[in-house]
Structures are given as C-alpha cells and as structure tokens.
C-alpha cells in the first residue's frame, strides 16, 4: 500500500467512531511530530484506557518507553526494511514513515487489540528477581498467582464460549412472553371447557371416566417407552454378545498352536518394546518438546527482530558451523588406531539405534491409527444404535407420513420437469448465442475486407477507441473540476480555521513563554539532582543486596545450628535413658536381695532360656515316642478300618434280609439265622 492510500485509510478510520476526528488528507499530512504522536497515543488510549494522557505533560523518553511497552504487548512487528534503532528513533521523533504503519495496523484490528490489551492486564507475568524468588513465602505466593492466572484463562474461555453459543436475551424474553400468552389462552380455554362440562347432567361420572382414560393412556405410553427401552437394551446386549463372541473367536484363533513359552516370549517382546518407548523414546520426545517450548517462549519474550538482526544471527550460525567442521577435522586427523577400530562398531550401533527408533516411530503411528479407527468404529456403532432405537411410526402417523412423502414426490417430479425444460431452453439459447457470435465474426471479417479495399483499414476499431477515449476524458475532466472545487473550498476552510486557532492560541502562547523560560532555567538543576538521586539509589541498592546476602547466609547458619542442637539434644536424652537402664541393671545384679536379683534382665532371660530348653526336650521325647509307635499304630488303624467296613457290610446284609423276610416267610429267615453264628465266629477270628 502506497503512502497516499495508507494516509487516506487512516483519515477515514479516524473520522469514524469512537475517534470522531475531523481530519482530511491535507490537515492530517500537515501535523507536527508531537501532534502525530498525540494521535497515536489517542488511538492506543481507545485500545487501552490506561494510555490516555496528554503528551505535553510527559517527558519524551517516558512516552517512548510507554509506547514501546504497549506495542510489545499488542505484538506489533515493525516492517522488515526498518531496524530496531531506526524504529525507536522514529517513534521518539514522531516520523511519518514509522507512525503511519503503526496507525494503519492498529486501526485495522481495534476490537481484537482491545481484547488483547484487556487480557494482558491479567496475563502478563510480573518479573521477580531470582534472589527474591528464593524466599519460600514469595515463591508460594507466586505459585498461587500462576494458578489464579490459569483459572482466569479457563473462566475467560468459558465466557467467550457462552457469548458465542447463540443465546440471545431478547429472543429468550420474546419466547417467555409468547409462552405466557399461550398459557393465558390455555387457561381461558380450560375455563370454557369446564363451564361447558359442568352444565352436563353426568359431568362427574364423565370426568372420572376421562381421568381414568387419561391415566391409562399415560400408563400405556410409559409401558410403550419401557418396552422400547427394553428392546433397545436387548439389541445393545445382542450386539455386545456378538462383539464378545467375535473377540473370543479371534482369541481362540490366535491361541491355536500357541504354547506357554511362545506366549511368554510374545509378552516379553511387547514388554521390551513398551519399556524402550517409555524409557528412551518418550523422554527424548518430552525433552524435544520442552526445548521447543523454551525456544518459542524466548522468541515471544524477545522483541520483534529486524532484517539486520537476522543477518547477524545467520553470520553467527555460519561461524559456529565452520568452527564445528574444523574441530571435526582436527579430531579425525588426531584419531587413534584403537578409535578407528571402534568406529565400525560405533557406526553399527548407531545404525541399529536408528532402526530401533524408526521401528518405535512406526509402532507409535500404527497404534495411533488403530486407536483412531477404533474410535471411528465406536462412533459408527453408536450412530447405528441410535438409528435402530428410533421411534417406529404406526397407524395414523404412518399414513400422514406416507401422504407427506407422496406430496413431496409430486412436487419433486414437477420441479424436475421444470428443470428439464429450463435446461432444454438453456441449450437452445446457448446455441443461438453461438450462431449469433459466428455471424458477428463473419460480418466483422467482411467489414475488414471492405475497409482494406477502400483503403481505410482499421477505421472501425479506431473509431471505437476514440469514442472510449473521449468518454474517459470527459469523465476525468468532470472529476478534475470537482476535485479542484473541493480543494479550493478545503483551502478556504483551512485558512479560516488557522486564523481562528491563532486568535485563540495567542493569549495561551503569551502565558506559556515565561513558563518555558522558567523550565529552561530549572532543567539543569533538575538533571543534576536527578543524577545525584540515581547515584544514591544505585549505592543503596548495591548495599541492600550485599546485606540481604549476608542476612541470608546468617539465617542458613542459624537454621543449621538449630537443627544440629535439636539432634544432639535428642541423642543425649536417648543416651541418658540407656544409661539409667544400665545403672538399674547393675544395681539389681549387685544387690544381695534374691527378689531384686530375679528382676534383672539376666535372670529373666536365663529363666526363659531354661524353660525353652525343657520344652524342646519334652518335644524331642514325644517325637521319639511317636516315631517308635508309628508302625504298630498304623497297623492297628488298618485293622479298625477293616472292622468298620465289615460291620457296614453286615448292616447292609441284615437290611436286605429283613426286606426279603417280609416277602418270603420264616424259613428263609431261619436259614439265614443259622449262618449268623458262623459270621460272628469269623468276626472273632478276625479280631
């Protein structure tokens, strides 16, 4: 954009709200540097109200620093052809090539910059020296400050989302009024129906029946909804069963021919892969991301760089690369043979590490793709489930739906027929246009041939161009006349305004002259006192920092000595308790009283040792007796088990005999009874 277009845009924007200036191109171009800086400050004051100030009441260096700070907050980047020193000098001196681009950039995005200035008031962190941050209380307050800043970010995001969510208070109020009107209409209608029903003779019975009917219909709707919900749940469960069966089938297919060793080997490989990713790959990625974030933070914190700064950085990079190459050549020249032998293995290790890293990246990409596909599958399943769970139309609703579809199909057929007619007509018109163009070209060629025959070739084109030029010239003359009239009127008004301003400013200038002389007299005294103050302030700051360091060292020493004192005090108390116990033990051991001697730890532990020895002796004897009687006891136990089985068998035989005796008579009973003594005798023999 040229300077004139830039200035025209600035003047147009300044004449609008909320600036409400009355500039034109000439008056704006004739502004003094201080007045131009005041215009820039007024625009910044609209963006950030804290910048509202009269520059005549502020020192130039303070004005420049303040403007630099607000432009840095707003993230303004100077043009590439302007370096930082020229940019700073241009702002201080109010140069137009520097101020105009700033005004253009500010006026293009005023609402966005107002929002950024508002947020900067809360999100620009306070710079605290590292010495002060070492204090625990200050550090805790700073951490709380950062947490509150994050909370502000979240709340601002929520506020913006609510503002952009589409809720409008006017629409909501309108809906509320409409709903209230509908409510009043419904109340009136209910009153009319109630009066009409009360006039009926059987109104109470009919009301009761209608109430029961309504209750039953509501119940029917609830039951239908429950039925639909149960059917939806059944379909979901069926789909889940199918998915689980498919997973089970896949697992069984995967487990065909698998052995515990192969499964363990597979799990070990997967574990090694995951451990490599977690221990080696992820820390590298995290470190790389952190480094990138630090670089971005450095770039954000550093002011905008110009072309010269970039050239300096590129020169430094080339110098460092050259130094690195020289060092590599020196190392290669001074390399040992042993290092040369190991270089092959190093290269192989580097190749293997590179392959390992590439495989890890491939695995991660495949896993990400798998997760993405899984999420898509889940979303599609949810869509299918919702489509299956949609309401099914029945009865009258289905008929209305079919009629609606038929009406739409008829409308669609009519529109399609109209579209076909329009397409046919469009084809005819395009063909007509082509024929007319061909005829026009043929007539133009014939005219050109006739012009050549008559010796006036190009007459028609020249006549058309002359007509165009004449029309353009007439328009330009009219515009030039209007511009001259406007400029003469503007010059007349400017002269009148300048005269008025001179008349109004004359008494003010007469009052300012003695004040300016007084300022010139007081300025050297002010500068001297300011320098003395700055020197004293620097001395006080240096002494204060030294004293703070000394106080910090003394506090650390006091803290260390206090901790050492408490530790030694505790150890001394422990030793005193142990010494008292030793003295009591010695006193009881030396004492002639037998009861006192029994209380000593030596006697107590000796008594316990003797008791344990007696107990172990008794247990050993018991163990020996058990070992000696083991075989006879096992034999006796076997005999008792055999006896138990024999008695069970006899019991079963007697039960069978009783069952048979009830059917066959006494002879069988007597015959079986003759065998009983024999069985008993055999039992005695076994015993």
Q: What is the pLDDT of residues 107-160, one digit of tens each?
A: 888 888 888 888 777 777 777 777 777 777 777 888 888 888 888 888 877 777
> Between vectors from CA 47 to CA 45 and to CA 52, what angle results, nearest 5°?
10
pLDDT computed for residue 646 by the predictor: 93
Query: How many of the other CB atoms lie within 10 Å of CB of 584?
Result: 13
| SS3 track for 506-566 | HHHHHHHHHHHHHHHHHHHHHHHHHHHHHHHHHHHHHHHHHHHHHHHHHHHHHHHHHHHHH
* Banded pLDDT at 262 (limits 50, 70, 90): confident
Q: How confident is the model at residue 669 (pLDDT cuts 50, 70, 90)?
A: very low
Amino acid 637: pLDDT: 92
CA distance 100 to 106: 10
36: Cβ–Cβ under 8 A, 6 or more apart, which residues? Answer: 94, 96, 99
Residue 679: which pLDDT band, with cuts at 50, 70 and 90?
Answer: very low
Distance CA 39, CA 46 (A): 11
Quote the pLDDT of residue 670. Answer: 44
- Res 684: pLDDT: 40
Task: Tell me if residue 28 falls in helix, strand or coil.
Answer: helix
Helices 33-47 and 96-108, axial angle in degrees (round to 10): 20
Give pLDDT tens digits for 590-618: 777 777 766 777 788 888 899 999 999 99
Distance CA 437, CA 169 (A): 59
Structure tokens given for 110: 């005023």
Cβ contacts of residue 317 below 8 Å, gap of 6+?
none
Cα–Cα nearest to 51, from 25, 28, 70, 23: 70
Write out the two tokens for 9.
């845009």
Mean pLDDT, residues 205-220 taken together? 84
The b/e string for 637-666 (b: 16+ C-beta within 10 A; e otherwise) is: eeeeeeeeeeeeeeeeeeeebeeebeeeee
Predicted confidence (pLDDT) per residue in 487-533, tens digit:
777 777 877 887 787 788 778 778 888 888 888 888 888 888 888 88
Which single residue is written with the structure tokens 């163990």? 623
Backbone phi, psi, residue 23, to 5°: -90, 155
Instruction: Please write the tens of the pLDDT for every residue from 356-370.
Output: 777 878 887 888 888
Instruction: Please report which confidence band the pLDDT of residue 238 belongs to, taking 50, 70 and 90 as the band edges.
Output: confident
d(CA 132, CA 142): 11
**Per-residue model confidence (pLDDT) at position 391:** 47
Number of neighbours of residue 238 by Cβ within 10 angstroms: 10
45-79 pLDDT, tens digit per residue, is 888 888 887 877 877 778 888 888 888 888 888 87
Per the prediction, the chain carries an average pLDDT of 78
d(CA 257, CA 263): 10
3-state secondary structure 93-139: HCCHHHHHHHHHHHHHCHHHHHHHHHHHHHHCCCCCCHHHHCCHHHH
The pair of structure tokens assigned to 332 is 């290669």
- Contact criterion met (CB below 8 Å) for 9 and 104: yes
Per the CB < 8 A criterion, the answer to whether 27 and 494 are in contact is yes
- Secondary structure string (H, E, C) spanning 624-667: HHHHHCHHHHHHHHHHHHHHHHHHHHHHHHHHHHHHHHHHHCHH
Please tell me the number of Cα atoms within 13 Å of 202 on its side-chain side.
Answer: 5
Q: Whole-angstrom Cα distance, residue 248 to residue 242?
A: 10
Query: 17 is written with which tokens?
Result: 């709200």
pLDDT at position 486 is 73
Residue with tokens 């920092």, as numbered in its chain: 545
Tell me what the mean pLDDT of segment 635-641 comes to.
92
pTM higher than 0.85, yes or no?
no
Total residue length of the chain: 687
Q: Please give the average per-residue pLDDT across 248-254, as a whole number.
A: 76
Between helix 33-47 and helix 60-73 the angle, nearest 10°, is 40
Tokens of 124: 């620009």
| Predicted confidence (pLDDT) per residue in 371-412, tens digit | 888 788 777 777 766 654 444 455 566 677 777 878 888 888
Rg (CA), the chain: 53
pLDDT above 60: residue 677: no
Q: Give the closest residue to 41 by CA, choosing from 51, 27, 30.
A: 51
More confident residue, 134 or 577: 577
Whole-angstrom CA distances from 475 to 468, 481, 482, 489 are 11, 10, 11, 21
pLDDT at 413 over 70: yes
* CA dist list (Å): 479 to 178, 470, 474, 476, 482: 56, 14, 9, 5, 5
Q: Round to whole Å and give the CA distance between 593 and 274.
A: 74
């Amino acid at each position: 954009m040229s300077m004139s277009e830039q200035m025209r845009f600035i003047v147009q924007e300044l004449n609008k709200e909320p600036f409400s200036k009355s500039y034109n191109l000439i008056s704006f171009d004739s502004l003094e540097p201080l007045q131009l800086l005041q215009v820039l400050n007024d625009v910044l004051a609209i963006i950030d109200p804290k910048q509202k100030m009269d520059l005549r009441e502020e020192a130039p260096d303070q004005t420049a620093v303040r403007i630099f700070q607000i432009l840095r907050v707003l993230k303004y980047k100077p043009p590439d052809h302007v370096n930082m020193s020229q940019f700073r000098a241009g702002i201080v001196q109010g140069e137009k090539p520097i101020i105009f681009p700033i005004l253009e950039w500010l006026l293009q995005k005023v609402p966005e910059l107002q929002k950024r200035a508002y947020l900067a008031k809360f999100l620009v962190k306070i710079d605290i020296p590292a010495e002060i941050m070492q204090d625990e209380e200050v550090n805790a307050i700073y951490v709380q400050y950062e947490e509150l800043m994050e909370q502000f970010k979240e709340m601002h995001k929520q506020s913006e989302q609510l503002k952009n969510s589409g809720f409008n208070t006017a629409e909501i109020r309108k809906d509320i009024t409409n709903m209230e009107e509908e409510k009043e209409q419904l109340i009136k209608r209910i009153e009319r129906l109630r009066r009409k029903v009360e006039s009926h003779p059987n109104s109470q019975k009919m009301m009761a029946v209608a109430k029961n009917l309504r209750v039953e219909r509501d119940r029917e709707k609830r039951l239908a909804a429950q039925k639909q919900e149960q059917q939806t749940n059944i379909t979901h469960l069926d789909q889940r069963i199918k998915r689980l069966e498919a997973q089970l089938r896949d697992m069984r297919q995967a487990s065909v021919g698998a052995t515990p060793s192969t499964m363990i080997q597979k799990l070990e490989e997967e574990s090694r892969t995951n451990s490599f990713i977690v221990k080696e790959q992820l820390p590298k990625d995290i470190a790389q991301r952190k480094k990138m974030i630090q670089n971005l933070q450095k770039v954000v914190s550093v002011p905008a760089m110009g072309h010269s700064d970039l050239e300096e950085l590129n020169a430094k990079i080339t110098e460092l690369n050259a130094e690195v190459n020289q060092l590599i050549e020196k190392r290669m020249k001074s390399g040992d043979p042993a290092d040369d032998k190991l270089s092959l293995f190093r290269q192989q290790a580097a190749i293997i590490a590179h392959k390992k890293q590439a495989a890890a990246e491939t695995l991660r990409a495949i896993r990400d793709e798998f997760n993405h596909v899984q999420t898509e599958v889940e979303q599609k399943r949810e869509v299918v489930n919702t489509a299956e769970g949609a309401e099914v139309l029945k009865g009258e609703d289905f008929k209305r739906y079919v009629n609606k579809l038929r009406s739409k199909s008829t409308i669609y057929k009519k529109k399609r027929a109209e579209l076909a007619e329009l397409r046919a007509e469009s084809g005819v018109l395009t063909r007509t246009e082509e024929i007319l163009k061909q005829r026009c070209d043929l007539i133009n060629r014939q005219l050109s041939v006739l012009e050549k025959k008559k010796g006036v070739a190009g007459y028609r084109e020249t006549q058309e161009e002359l007509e165009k030029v004449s029309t353009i010239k007439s328009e330009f003359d009219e515009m030039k006349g209007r511009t001259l009239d406007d400029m003469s009127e503007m010059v007349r008004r400017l002269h009148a305004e300048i005269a008025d301003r001179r008349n109004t400013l004359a008494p003010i200038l007469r009052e300012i002259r003695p004040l300016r002389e007084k300022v010139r007299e007081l300025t050297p005294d002010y500068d001297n006192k300011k320098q003395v103050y700055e020197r004293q302030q620097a001395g006080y700051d240096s002494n204060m920092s030294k004293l703070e360091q000394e106080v910090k060292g003394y506090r650390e020493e006091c803290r260390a000595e206090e901790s050492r004192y408490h530790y030694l005090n505790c150890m001394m108390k422990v030793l005193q308790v142990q010494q008292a116990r030793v003295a009591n033990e010695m006193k009881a051991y030396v004492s002639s009283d037998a009861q006192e001697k029994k209380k000593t730890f030596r006697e107590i532990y000796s008594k316990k040792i003797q008791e344990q020895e007696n107990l172990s002796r008794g247990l050993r004897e018991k163990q020996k007796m058990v070992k000696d009687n083991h075989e006879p006891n096992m034999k006796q136990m076997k005999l008792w088990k055999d006896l138990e089985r024999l008695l069970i068998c006899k019991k079963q035989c007697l039960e069978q005999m009783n069952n048979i005796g009830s059917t066959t008579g006494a002879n069988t009973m007597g015959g079986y009874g003759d065998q009983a003594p024999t069985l008993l005798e055999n039992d005695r023999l076994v015993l």
